[in-house]
Structure 1
Amino acid sequence: MEVKKHNSKRKCKQTDKHYNDMCRLCMTKNAKVPIFPEKDELKLDKEPPLVCKIMSSVNIQMRKDDGLPSHICCDCASKVQSTYDFLRLCEMSDSFLRQFLDFGLDISWVFRYSELLRVIDRNEEYSSDEQ
């Protein structure tokens, strides 16, 4: 996937409140979710930063110093996470199915294994809800 590059030297006035509150992805108001992580957040988080999830899902380039809004709205953040999760699921499924094919294993094992993963996933969701 080719990334669209924009080399404009012009930058909007970032002192404008409406500009700073604009969602970088859908341009709605009240964007509260920061795109770029603080340095200390990178060490604590197991998942990639939001900016990496966005750039791996859509064909845009983002830099902290590019003069564009640095927040997105909650709706877009949710969509980015869902898209990221779906892409990872597709990649894992493809890898798993190719391994089964390479080893010549019975396809019935694929269904058993995928059901086991669903049960484990549900149990993890249940245990994290209790905390």
Structure 2
Amino acid sequence: MVADDRRDVRFLATHLLEKSGATTVTADNGQEAVDVVKHRTQSGEPVDAILMDMQMPIMDGYEASRVLRQSGFDRPIIALTANAMQGDRRRCLETGCKDYLTKPLNGSDMLRMLQRLLVSRDQ
């Protein structure tokens, strides 16, 4: 899943993921991401990983990550943020994200990180 309020980021991330063979779903705010994950889990089509923008309207990525973790979602959440300030990575990890990427997205870094997190989860 790609959760980001910016259409260009959603487009780029989904394009890169689908080009590598992944199936994607998107959300444009944190509440929608929580709702989609819940619906897909209940329908037997769980989300394998989430790229979560941390600054979104309605519900930001910090709160959405906390809500997802509290509901039992145990798959990788990767924080996406334009902020590269000291302490941002720590804050993302404290809210339940497994790792952190800064924008603009680097496609090869994103794919390597997803592969690493998904392989380590399955072992």
**Common fold: TM-score over 0.5:** no
TM normalised by structure 2 equals: 0.27
Higher relative strand content: 2
TM normalised by structure 1 equals: 0.26
Higher relative helix content: 1
